[in-house]
Amino acid sequence: MTDVAVRPAERIPEPVDRPRVRPGRVDRIFQAGMLIILLAAVVVRFTARQDLWLDEAQSIAIAKLPLTGDGPTMFDGLREDGSPPLYYLLLHAWVSAFGTGNVAVRALSGLINLVAVWPLYLLGKRVVGRRGAQVAVVFYLTSPFALRFATETRMYSLIVLLTALGGLAIERALRRPSPLAVVYVALASGCLALTHYWCFYVLLTVGGWLVLLWWRPGFLFRSDRAGAGERGGGQDVDSATRAAVTEGLDAAGLPDNDDVLAPTAPPAEPGRHSAAGAAARTAGGPTGRLAGGRRGALAALLGVAGGAIIFLPWFSQFLYQSAHTGTPWGEPASYAAVSHAYGQWAGGPTTLGRLLLLVITCLVALGIAGRGLGGRFVLIDLRGGEPGRTLFLLSTVTLVVAVTVGKVVGNAWADRYTATAFVPFLLVVGLGATIVRHERFTQGVVALCAAAGVIAGYNDVQMPRTQATEAAEILAAKAKPGDVLLICPDQVGPGLARTIPSFLLPTTHLVPDYRPPDRVNWVDYEERNEAADGVAIADRALAEAGKDHSVFLATSGGYRTYETLCLQIQTHLGQQRPQGSQEMEQGSPTDVYENYLLARFPPS
């Protein structure tokens, strides 16, 4: 018998990533197409016109409060909301200058989102090389996840900006430890902690990594391969890799074609701007030591710890919020949320999102374990390699820490919170896209993902976020001064408060405490709702409306801690005024994010 387990190929194709003096026609088409896609991605960041949902409307209601005075201040609002102040201070200045319109308030997030491109590129250039940094920026600009929080009046774009700046500060401290480097890391760390409490998880993860680096320099960022430049395109593979592949070809009976392993360009010297130089600065060459040694790791660690000094003025508020606010609207997540986060980062649950997930998963695997051999050939190292391995661990461990702490203290999980770990993921994807040193393949993958990302992101950005618009139209047509509007759950209130007729605002009340509808008070939230009496609340609304006015009820049964309270109110109103009608049907979660029904109970 002549059959063999591995049938030899007739010919191994030669590398096709030969250097060219000038771009060809295909390259120019690719560049023009990418320019159009990226411009579209920038425009999409400013196209959201829908009314604001709970989190956005709550942010505006808090940010427009005065900083000082006898009445409620912005800091009083934050105390009840359970958030740190940095983003709200920026938003306060922004709305003071540009107003509180939907487009105006979202523009701040869009601008911050774009500003983050520059530090992300610089960080990527130093860690994964210039080509990897370029691809990471493209994926960031066209990411449906990034496009969504670029159009949300929330702090998630600021988190990405500060994470990239913090990464730059840590890279500088590891490379050139100095008192100024410590200050930079401390500023970034303190600002992250003052932006969102989930940033504690990434600070804890990075702090643990820095302790390992101080204890055993090179423990994670180990130079166990020729360098990042070899993986990113343009560097020759090391002799051990060449020997291993040659032996594999011989064992399989494949012809020995040295062109397969030939470099596509002369090896670059490890310099300031080369990927190999980034690896050399970080890994410290073949010994696996950091360029700054233990001093660098200690400087970065001191900077992370020093962020506590910046956070200290807010610490008493943080203790109060930890004891009284939290996330009563949701349950702690399981560890399956970690893989779910990667799906959200890749593109979300849509058809295009799943396509992106398939491609980006492959790129992440290449970024962690792939070695470019030239042409279409890649060697997979199951140990993984640097810096992809460490970047992936930093991103994943941050999510694992978030789930673990959530289980311990009872905090809920939200996909938008995972922006705290998004930057390392982008760098791994950018690195993975440069592993296959087949230029047309790389261009095709990048163009496909970028186009699909913008389309999927645009569809998500344009999705209605609340039924407040529809409810306001009905109330404007059917309500009259003196009518009463009950909002149960209260989380529907901030969105409605921005849209309903002004004559209805004085008689619009949140359940259960009859507060004005513009802000939700999260202090002792679950206890307050569980102690509420739905019948008494309904009777109070009926008494206020009297015999001549209607009672409207905006309600949904899908909110935690309101499982029976809203239904109890609706049932009692229906018993007292049996001629009630449903004026607005509750929308599907696939069609509108914040959905509820609107019922009317007219006088007899």
Whether the pLDDT of residue 374 is over 50: the answer is yes
Q: Tell whether 324 is covered by a domain.
A: yes
The domain boundary residue, chosen from 440, 462, 484: 462
Which contiguous run of DSSP H or E holds residue 442?
Answer: helix 439-462
Contact by Cβ (8 Å): 376, 436: yes
275 pLDDT band, cuts 50/70/90, is very low
Same domain, 455 and 535: no
Q: Tell whether 105 is covered by a domain.
A: no
Q: Tell whether 92 is covered by a domain.
A: no
Same domain, 448 and 474: no
Tens digit of pLDDT for each residue in 242-251?
454 444 444 4
Average pLDDT on 126-155 reads 95
Classify 372 as helix, strand or coil: strand
Same domain, 523 and 435: no
Whether the pLDDT of residue 16 is over 60: the answer is no
Same domain, 449 and 530: no
Same domain, 521 and 558: yes
Same domain, 146 and 188: yes
The domain boundary residue, chosen from 422, 442, 462: 462
348 pLDDT band, cuts 50/70/90, is confident
In whole angstroms, what is the distance from residue 499 CA to residue 563 CA?
26
Residues 6+ apart with CB under 8 A from 367: 128, 388, 391, 392, 428, 429, 430, 431, 432, 433, 435
What's the pLDDT score for residue 261? 32
In whole angstroms, what is the distance from residue 354 CA to residue 343 CA?
8
Average pLDDT on 490-494 reads 96
Contact by Cβ (8 Å): 153, 58: no
Same domain, 338 and 391: yes
More confident residue, 265 or 241: 241
What's the pLDDT score for residue 272? 37
Between β-strands 508-510 and 484-488, what pairing exists: parallel, antiparallel or unpaired?
Answer: parallel
Which contiguous run of DSSP H or E holds residue 229?
Answer: helix 228-232
* Mean model confidence pLDDT for the chain: 86
Same domain, 452 and 482: no
Q: Is the peptide bond before 501 cis (omega within 30 degrees of 0)?
A: no
What's the pLDDT score for residue 515? 94
Whether the pLDDT of residue 303 is over 50: the answer is yes
Q: Among residues 121, 534, 98, 75, which one has the least CA distance to residue 316? A: 75
What's the pLDDT score for residue 258? 37
The domain boundary residue, chosen from 427, 462, 497: 462
User: What is 276-343 written as a DSSP string?
Assistant: HHHHHHHH-GGG---TTHHHHHHHHHHHHHHHHHHHGGGHHHHHHHHHH-S-TTSPPPPTHHHHHHHH
More confident residue, 146 or 15: 146
Q: Tell whether 3 is covered by a domain.
A: no
21 pLDDT band, cuts 50/70/90, is low
Whether the pLDDT of residue 83 is over 80: the answer is yes
Tens digit of pLDDT for each residue in 141-190?
999 999 999 999 999 999 999 999 999 999 999 999 999 999 999 999 99
Same domain, 458 and 474: no
Average pLDDT on 401-416 reads 93
Q: Tell whether 312 is covered by a domain.
A: yes
Same domain, 383 and 433: yes
Whether the pLDDT of residue 291 is over 50: the answer is yes
Q: Tell whether 37 is covered by a domain.
A: no
Structural domains counted in the chain? 2
pTM of this structure: 0.86
Same domain, 591 and 519: yes
Contact by Cβ (8 Å): 66, 74: yes
The domain of 276 spans 116-462
Whether the pLDDT of residue 358 is over 50: the answer is yes
Tens digit of pLDDT for each residue in 548-564?
999 999 999 889 999 89
More confident residue, 294 or 321: 321
Q: Tell whether 14 is covered by a domain.
A: no
Q: Tell whether 435 is covered by a domain.
A: yes
Contact by Cβ (8 Å): 596, 556: yes
Same domain, 175 and 294: yes
In whole angstroms, what is the distance from residue 138 CA to residue 55 CA?
28
Weakest-pLDDT range from 35-39, 224-228, 498-502, 578-582: 224-228
CA distances from 118 to 38, 161, 303, 457 (A): 15, 9, 22, 21
Whether the pLDDT of residue 293 is over 80: the answer is no
What's the pLDDT score for residue 543? 96
Share of the chain above pLDDT 70, in %: 84
24 pLDDT band, cuts 50/70/90, is confident
